[in-house]
Structure 1
């Protein structure tokens, strides 16, 4: 597909995209007007052409997730395929990018690599020439809300303090040292005027987890553009419904611990409770601090990493059904079956945990002997 001269990328390109916490991943720049970006204000073309913070609409092969990512996090595909393609999961995603390039694409049939009928070709050419915004297929991008009116770039803030839809694509969280604390208003949450754009919000009363059952100190995991994990710091009751204020933490798979992200907070209303995919009670949370003593951290007793993955997959299966996406529902159903088998085999080992570096104080709280390795 054509790329505008003078800049390295354009809509329709196959690239490697780097999201924080993941290796560079095979991806496609979708044919979505960049001015529709809901994490920053921008035009349809980079100005200047080499603007590293210009955001592109990215579709990830393999996971089929979407996200707005800055140009600086994109890499030429052919130039880096050998360098980035060693990981087995990346290889599988690369295979899909070759065999099913146009899956979930705005134009074409989206299967078996067949992209263009004559009608689709004409529509795509008109789109490229800015003669029309008409596309052939509805995709996940159509279910995202627009940028909040008057909202500026959020390069330093993960989410507005006022309630927003959890489907909003968010920028990667900056490092702790770069993030300033965010003030959160205690005023009652406003109603979500665009709640009918996502079946998860429309049918929020059918959610797996409900705000009314969640209390201060409880742990929750919620799905934004990727999973977020946090502790409830405050619960508010009002005539318009309950809401919870959540302080988010980083999940460290290496050390099986959650580390506080200062200032990374969000208020979740009842209308958005459908994005919560896991809830643990406060007594299951064991608090501590990292070895430096500068950051709070905690572990969730009786939960393994596979438990989190299983809860996320069950949530994905339910949400795919609500949204009427049978292919995604089938994929999640397979993941659920596989994870149930895996977690069943791990059940006899429950209570045997790795203790994170700097969290030795957790050992007696978990009833663990001194012989466990804490240096991993």
Structure 2
């Protein structure tokens, strides 16, 4: 449920900070299987609205503290993403520590599947950075609590398809608010900078080109850039994210690194709209106020990138791509609602999104507790 080229952004934290963050979660569990090399952490942030659904990230973290910081932040984000998306799901995430290129194996994935099964359905896993639908098929041999499987096994397949589609819908909504006019033409002739053109970014470029936007891209992976340039010859390529941020843009779409919006980037950006697929784009608390002061229309990341979650969640009902796509199309209306609430309450859009999520968790979660309790 994330762009496979993304590298986790893990802010420096102290042990005390990690403990404070973890105390917000319902459950944090560590798995260790020396025989297969599995070292994993599952963080269940909330099951107020339903079982916690979130991807498994396989990444060579520099330290266990970095892995823990990442899984705590990502699982919290999944709670808010599911709530705003209107899903009857909670928020969770998992990380497997290590380089997937050398460590990933059937034995490790099946050991991880047994670990997920031991949680009794409180956590449902899916794809993320470093894991793919084929990996979910291996995991599914040991647990029922897995989504994002290959189409051959009745799954949703590549969730980046609807992640990108949802980001595009959110971008249309933000552009309409920024410049007015009809949403169908809101991006025509606009210059959109996409940072990160892996699975999600690549699909997003296709939507933007189809909408008549002028697209500028960058990625640390030359092969990803070459593929997009081959598919869309009109795309302009720049050498780095710094170059992209400094360019004349109407829309900036961070689709790779977390923490993409720090003080320096926000002060440098010429873009009127920020809307991208990357998770945890706000580098630190308070930067959303600087975004607002600069007059930038920020479409909160977990609002617009929820299409992938919707896609894999649909498997729980027996997968229908058209049904999932229709749900992802609703990200346009959700984004408009967030932007309108921010305007009416005089708060940053990130704050408005959090308020909508928290209201649903309180109200629906309380009702669910009454009926299930």
Greater fraction of residues in strand? 1
Greater fraction of residues in helix? 2
Q: More relative contact order in 1 or in 2 (CA 8 Å, sep 6+)?
A: 2
Q: TM-score, normalised by structure 1?
A: 0.31
* Structure exhibiting the larger radius of gyration computed from Cα positions: 1
